[in-house]
Structure 1
Amino acid sequence: MKSTEKCVSNGKPDNGYLNWRWQQAGCNLSELDPAEFLRAVRGKLLAFVGDSTARNQAESLVCFLSTVSRPETTHRYEEPVGHEFWRWVFPAPHNVTISTYWSPFLVRAEGRSVDYAMTQETLFLDALTEPWTADVDAMDVMVISAGHWFNHPAVYYDDGQIAGVFSRPDVNETDIGGGYVGVYRKVIRRVLEYVNEKSSGDKLVVVSTIAPAHFDARYAWNHRDACSRPNPYDEGEVPEDANTAEMRKAVLEEGAAAKRQRRGLRFDVLDVTRLASMRPDGHPGAYIVKDRYCAGKPMPETVNNDCLHWCAPGPVDTFNDILVQMVAASG
């Protein structure tokens, strides 16, 4: 697990986030049982594809499963800007593999996503990325989680031609139709079409809706109070964001369309937007380094803040509680 997500050991003083759990009205959502889950996915490859929110969920799952079986990290590859491919193998009798594939746009990109010194992106909408595309047929459970990078200024290419731009007044090209949300929808559709085309065996494909960040708009992102709320939002208190709602809608609709595929290939949507939107308390905030601000150490007004990823344990565990139900339903 990334050290930034270890909120308890990093000294986060408010620990209510450990106790709040999502329960949908009329539905008793059971907590993940590590031993039972390992039995259910024995011999299978579980792949988490997308941005760092995909990795966040995968690491939470690995931590839970590690309470009953210690995995071996068989491959870890890192370059600047978090280009990561991690693989954990839970040995016999489980023989379960969990992998993460860093691909924040799911398609090929050049720019900030590969070099933080850059401020903009160039996306090639018809070029899906390796290594996930090379491994897709071997995946038994595939979880796709991406979206937070799509609002970056970008130039888009499709079929060798510039298809438009987003937030690039420096480029003499027309804004792309539908904005970055339209691009996001197109990418999700193409990814699901590719998975359908390249999958020869049974597979569960789960697309996650976006889990919104909670940077407080009253402050700069690096202000000590930009990510310090200790409690969840109450019903009706969640700020509305039109783009987040449209991105969620895109996943719901494209996921529903993909369900009309062959027998043995199941598509489903992990709809976490609402439950995640109510949990501003569940982020690391300023507590991304062990003991930096604990035990009464003063916190300066300007700090590095993480109000995007989730403490583990924390709200992200609910994502996996729901995933377990999907795996069980898929047989």
Structure 2
Amino acid sequence: MSQRWSRKKSRLPLAGLLFILVVTFMILFNERSIQQIHHHAASHTQNLREPSTFDFVKPNVPRINYLGAHGFCFEKNAEVLDRFSKCNSTKEYSGKKIGWVDPFEDHPGQVTKEEQKCDVFSGKWVFDNSSSYPLHKESQCPYMSDQLACQKHGRKDLEYQHWRWQPHACNLKRWNAIEMWEKLRGKRLMFVGDSLNRGQWISMVCLLQSVIPRDKQSMSPNAHLTIFRAEDYNATVEFLWAPLLVESNSDDPVNHRLSERIIRPDSVLKHASKWQHADILIFNTYLWWRQDSVKLRWSSEEKGSCEEVKSAEGMEMAMDSWGDWVANNVDPNKKRVFFVTMSPTHQWSREWNPGSEGNCYGEKKPIEEESYWGSGSDIPTMRMVKRVLERLGPKVSVINITQLSEYRKDGHPSVYRKFWEPLNEDRLKNPASYSDCTHWCVPGVPDVWNQLLFHFL
């Protein structure tokens, strides 16, 4: 008995020594791993901007509240921004930026433009008066928006419906609604963004709905997320209102005309909770950043405390937060993500007709000069967006609508749409003063954006 006890006792120091060595090794290994992670993150964030003197914030992180000394913790989302949110105080901008790392970054640093023999984004508009154009009829689409139904609201010249996009060195894949539905069978196709992306969504629904029996299709009521469903294909074509991509006080799809725009620059989680399960995602953002400034409400800041930056800076933060979500949540083998570049406006006719003082009102033909570039498309913004997309590599495909849409000064609703506010007598005498030169008539230019999407799918 005493011998057995003495043998056990003699082994304890050796076992203790081995335990200490193992623990020491694990501590050193973990410290080294953490240093490597920090070094890896730092090397990426330093590449975001030079010089690297900013305080970088990790985006899309739910807030964690710790309950006293017990050590228990639970997740609690920051105050949700809505149209009633206000800035109780506005501090000087702290200089914080969004820092993110793609944990699976093994792709070349370039924007994915799909494997193609020619650049389908470089070409010209060709008038096509054949029976196949337009690709759908405005009057035959029950889901048409009054904001885009130009023929319904009095436009007599219908040539805008008959222009076909022709790439220089190849042909764009011809639209086929049945083939598109087969690509969507059992899937969710979701457009996410602003009213221009909603216009593309309406175009897609109008292009697709005619081949579905009326009793086999349905549309949910207009809301934050609006869904068109095709029963026979077990498929949906959806639109999610998220004009700034990140959470904001403008996320109400109807009541979003606010004097003070507030965003949560480090979080897309509110919207991502709705888009994360879609199979094919089409994002856009740009128009709502065309203003002087925007207020920031960081997730870590107390309720009502804001900072203010120029809108271009705010958009860059939003794109980085969106990029972080894509980097950490998208497997391109399972989910397709597209980003639609900026849609140009045609507010100043002097840009294509020197000496004139109008806008898109009365325009009936596209611009023929291939080098044309108007003030409605901002090159610094395009470079910033390109930087984010390049970091995401094959996780995002680009639908470059900007140059081809620049030519279509004739494609806007102008005065041929429903206006939600009464027009006074002075404005009615000057149609150019209330022309919509931002959105697009449907059928029209957005149908070509969807043809490009179909081409890549």
Normalising to structure 1: TM-score of the pair? 0.79
1:276 Cα deviation from its structure 2 partner: 0.9
**CA gap 1:29/1:67 in 2 versus in 1, 3 angstroms:** same
Q: Does 1:102 align with 2:241?
A: yes
| Aligned amino acid, residue 348 of structure 2 | D
**1:16 maps to what in 2?**
159
Per the alignment, residue 322 of structure 2 pairs with: 191
Corresponding residue number in structure 2 for 1:72: 217
Max Rg structure = 2
> Residue 280 of structure 1 aligns to which amino acid in structure 2?
K
For 1:59 and 1:117, the matched residues in 2 are separated by 22
> Conserved in 2, the CA contact under 8 Å of 1:255 and 1:267?
yes
- 4+ aligned runs moved over 4 Å, structure 1: 111-117, 161-164, 223-226
CA contact (8 A) 1:224 1:305 kept: no
Q: Which runs of 5+ in 2 are unaligned?
A: 1-143, 351-356, 420-427
Alignment-mate amino acid for residue 135 of structure 1: K
CA deviation digits over 1:17-43, x for unaligned, max 9? 111122221121123210111011211
> What is the one-letter code of the residue matched to 2:405?
A
Partner SS, residue 109 of structure 1:
coil
TM-aligned CA distance change 1:310 to 1:31, over 3 Å: farther
For the aligned residues, what is the CA RMSD? Answer: 2.9
1:109, 1:45 → 2: CA distance? 25
8 Å Cα contact 2:343-2:405 kept in structure 1: yes
Aligned to 1:321: 451
Task: Quote the residue 2:197 is aligned against.
Answer: 54
**Please, which runs of 5 or more residues in structure 1 have no aligned partner?**
79-83, 166-175, 261-265, 291-298
Q: Deviations over 1:84-124 (max 9, x none)?
A: 421001111x1110110001111122269775563231221
User: What is aligned with 2:123?
Assistant: none
CA-CA distance at 1:47 after TM superposition: 0.6
d(CA) in 1 for partners of 2:166 and 2:404? 9
Say which structure is richer in strand: 1
Q: Which of these residues, 209, 224, 228, is aligned with residue 341 of structure 2?
A: 209
Contact residue 106 and residue 187 of structure 1 kept, 8 A: yes
Amino acid across the alignment from 2:340: S
**Greater helix percent: which structure?**
2
What corresponds to 1:312 in structure 2?
A: 442
The 1:192–1:117 alpha-carbon spacing in structure 2 relative to 1, beyond 3 Å, is closer
Pair 133,142 (structure 1): closer, same or farther in 2 beyond 3 Å: same
- Provide the rounded CA distance (Å) in 2 between the counterparts of 1:110 and 1:246: 26
Distance 2:236 2:454 in 1: 15
* 1:325/1:116 CA distance change after superposition, 3 Å: closer
Task: List aligned pairs for 1:1-331, cutoff 5 A.
Answer: 1-69=144-212, 70=214, 72-78=217-223, 84-92=224-232, 94-110=233-249, 115=255, 118-128=258-268, 130=270, 132-152=271-291, 153-160=293-300, 165=308, 176=309, 179-199=310-330, 202-216=334-348, 227-236=361-370, 238-241=372-375, 244-259=378-393, 266-289=395-418, 300-302=429-431, 304-327=434-457
What code does the residue aligned with 1:85 have? Answer: L
Determine the C-alpha separation between the residues in 2 that align with 1:149 and 1:44: 30
User: What's the CA shift string for 1:283-318, capped at 9, x where partnerless?
Assistant: 11100039xxxxxxxx63256432111111101111
